Amino acid sequence: MKTATVRELRNDFGRLSKWLDKGETVSIMKRGKPFARVVPEPKPKSLLGCMAGTAKISADFDEPLDLEWEAMK
């Protein structure tokens, strides 16, 4: 956990926001004692790629099937 003073929070918020972007919790100190805690918002999880590597596809999946359909007769 990172620490910063109230003055640093007011004057140098850009640096503190970079800590929050990285997922750090920042403890705000006032007169040398903990005053507040700034916690980053949880990042939303993406569904893209969540099932990567779980399906197996055979090597011949795009080969024509040897089936004779009723409609083809």
**Backbone φ and ψ of 46, nearest 5°:** -90, 145
The greatest distance separating any two alpha carbons of the chain, rounded to the nearest whole angstrom, comes to 89
Least confident range from 14-28, 29-43, 55-69: namely 55-69
Spans of all domains in the chain: 1-41
pLDDT score for 73: 67
**CA distance linking residue 47 with residue 40, whole number of Å:** 21
Q: Using the 8-state DSSP alphabet, how is residue 63 labeled?
A: S
Q: What percent of the chain has pLDDT over 90?
A: 52
CATH 3.20.20.450 fits 1-41, yes or no: no
Strand locations in the chain, DSSP E?
A: 2-5, 26-30, 33-38
Structure tokens at 53: 């590597």
pTM of whole model > 0.95?
no
**pLDDT over 90 (residue 64):** no
**Average pLDDT in the 54-71 region?**
82
